[in-house]
Chains A and B, each alone.
Chain A
Amino acid sequence: MTSSTCEVRAGFMPLVDCAPLVIARELGFAEQEGIELQLVRETSWATIRDRLAVSHLDVAHILAPMPVAANLALGPLQIRMLVPMALGTGANSVTVSRELWQGLSQYLDVADFDAVNALRALGRVVRKREAQSLPCLSLGVVHPYSAHHYELAYWLASASLIPGAAIDLVVIPPPLMPVALASGHIDGFCAGEPWGTVAATDGNGVILTTNSQIWQNSPEKVLGVREDWAETHGDGVSRLVRALYRSAEWCDAIGNQEELATILADDRYVGQKTEQIRPCLARRLKTADGELLPVEGFLNFASKAATFPWTSHALWFFSQMVRWGQVSFSQQGVEIARGTYRPDLYRAALEPLGIEIPSANAKVEGALKIETPAGSALGQLRLGPDTFFDGEVFDPDRLEAYLEGFKANDSL
């Protein structure tokens, strides 16, 4: 099937969504494609990017906006990356301290993770603190170029809780979030699983809402590949994408959850107890009452085209980079963002498998209110819902108009 063995050094962070890489190695999906996959656990996203830049790594499990930011030359080191596939959607939550929860719960009838009610309650707590001249609440995000940052800011700003003015956002790496929350350095955080569950289990945190409530089936991690590595490794990218796709399908199967939890719990990977990892895989989160509540669409490894690199996702991230002043708008920037995600490479790798692949490269984000049939290779693909909690839509072809829509709100 394959000519020679291709060595791949892959970086990852200790999070549940590193599973496709771990399983590709542990269960032989990589080997079947002639890939010798070496996994390197890292402790921060900046280090993953820097190690890619200096060729210590070839590919990485990376925050979905980071390759876009790298190609826009944001950040201290120059590196060009391409994204031939995504590594799942969702698996993030917003977790708050016990103390903040006490304040919020006065305004919440039920603890059901609803993003609209949670935001209304948060808005009232913030205004009350302002009236009492208390310091700004401070929420942790995992990196400036992360879906967590953009989704949290999007959610907060819609209630005029403008980051930097009404509420502080600070960067803390995911594994340190529970400690930062317990020690009172932050009032809450937005991070990938298992870290919300860890904080909720150790008693210092309460899960308030999820990113899937803010934007359903929203992008999260991708496979970031060094452009020069892709150029010099022939069909290496195709083989790796096939291996990871098979692995992601395995991770999504309900019957494999227990085995997956056990493997991820290992010290070489996530390094947390299986009890902390199981709820996320079962698409359940712990409420304030201690109940494990199912969360619709909380996590997808493969289903609903969760591995497809939609260029509309790259462009939404670009729109938020512009919105929050990380980069200025330019047509060139639009082209760079769009060109970073490579559905063409995804198709080239996966068409031979005869699987469902979306026919389009981009979609109008937020347009699917319910699960809907979508144009695809075999005609059986169903996508969505992909709505934003406020009902807005993002048409990637009308990016400037979309940005215009935020101006009045954000300048308050």
Chain B
Amino acid sequence: MLLLCGTHNMPAMAGQTLHILIIDNNRLRASIIEEGLSDGGRVRVTVLDETAQLLRRIVEIDPDVIFIDLENPNRDVLEHMFEVSRAVKRPIAMFVDQSDQASIEAAIDAGVSAYVVDGLKKERVRPILDTAISRFNAFERLKRELEEAKTQLADRKVIERAKTLLMQTRGLAEPEAYALLRKTAMNQNRRIAEIAESLVLAAGLLGGGEGK
């Protein structure tokens, strides 16, 4: 049963060499993965079977992808590394011996990019790795787009509020209020939404305001 985690800077799919680290005490299984990955070409594989100084070794090896047995106690060490490196999320694939529908659904809900039920064969390793990475990238892109849409909406709201404030307190018309916000933003080299936010915040603190 294996877990696969990409680390920092997941390389783009096409054309680049992946550096893959396999952490497994089971040499036989490690060699199946190694062969499976080498078949696909464009990979460099390092196998670690000792647990000593793992964190330091991973930092030195600096892999793109890590294969580790789900049962390996060093999962906690990896967890620490991810926290230290501050990288956001990574694709995870799980190879399990058997499973039921509920586990598969839960795995997908939890963000596992590929959940492979019928064990580990060498010819399947590379396609699964590719699937996990591409699914993860697609999902991350969707999430980023959603975040951006949300931010835009929030920006628009705060700009509206700031404009209303300026119109009320300084007796400006709407286009003038917007022009003032834009000019201030340009002068301070900041986003209009940021200027609008400071203005709304300041008005709140000074008790000025929206109510008047």
Contacts and interface: CB of A to CB of B under 8 A. Distances in A.
Interface stretch (A44-52, A239-247, A261-269): A44-52
Contact of B103 (A45, A55, A143, A176): A55
B51 interface: yes
Contact of A44 (B55, B76, B94, B103): B76
A323 to B, nearest CB: 15
Contacts of A51: 70
Q: Is the contact region of chain A dominated by helix, strand, or loop, or is it mixed?
A: loop
A53 B92 CA distance: 13
A276 B71 CA distance: 25
Given A46-B79, A185-B53, A77 B111 contact: yes
B72 interface: yes
B111 A44 contact: no
B44 interface: no
Interface in B65-93: 70-80, 82-83, 89-90, 92
Nearest to A13: B73
Contact of B73 (A56, A78, A173): A173
Interface in A144-202: 144, 170-173, 175-176, 180, 183, 185
B3 interface: yes
Interface residues of A, number: 31
A183 B73 CA distance: 17
A171 B82 CA distance: 12
Nearest to A56: B103
B181 interface: no
Given A53-B107, A55-B103, A76-B89, A176 B73 contact: yes
A287 B52 CA distance: 28
Interface string A31-74: 00000000000111111001101111000000000000000000
B109 interface: yes
Pairs A-B, 5 closest by C-beta atoms: A171-B80, A55-B106, A53-B110, A173-B73, A54-B107
Interface of B: 3, 5, 51-53, 55, 70-80, 82-83, 89-90, 92, 94, 102-103, 105-107, 109-112, 115
26 contacts: A42-B71, A44-B73, A44-B75, A46-B76, A47-B71, A50-B3, A50-B70, A53-B106, A54-B103, A54-B107, A55-B102, A55-B107, A56-B103, A76-B79, A76-B89, A76-B111, A77-B110, A77-B111, A143-B79, A143-B80, A144-B79, A144-B80, A170-B80, A173-B74, A175-B73, A228-B106
Given A50-B70, A53-B110, A77-B111, 19 more contacts: A43-B73, A44-B73, A44-B74, A44-B75, A45-B76, A46-B76, A50-B3, A51-B70, A53-B107, A76-B90, A76-B92, A77-B112, A78-B110, A143-B76, A143-B80, A173-B77, A175-B73, A183-B52, A326-B83
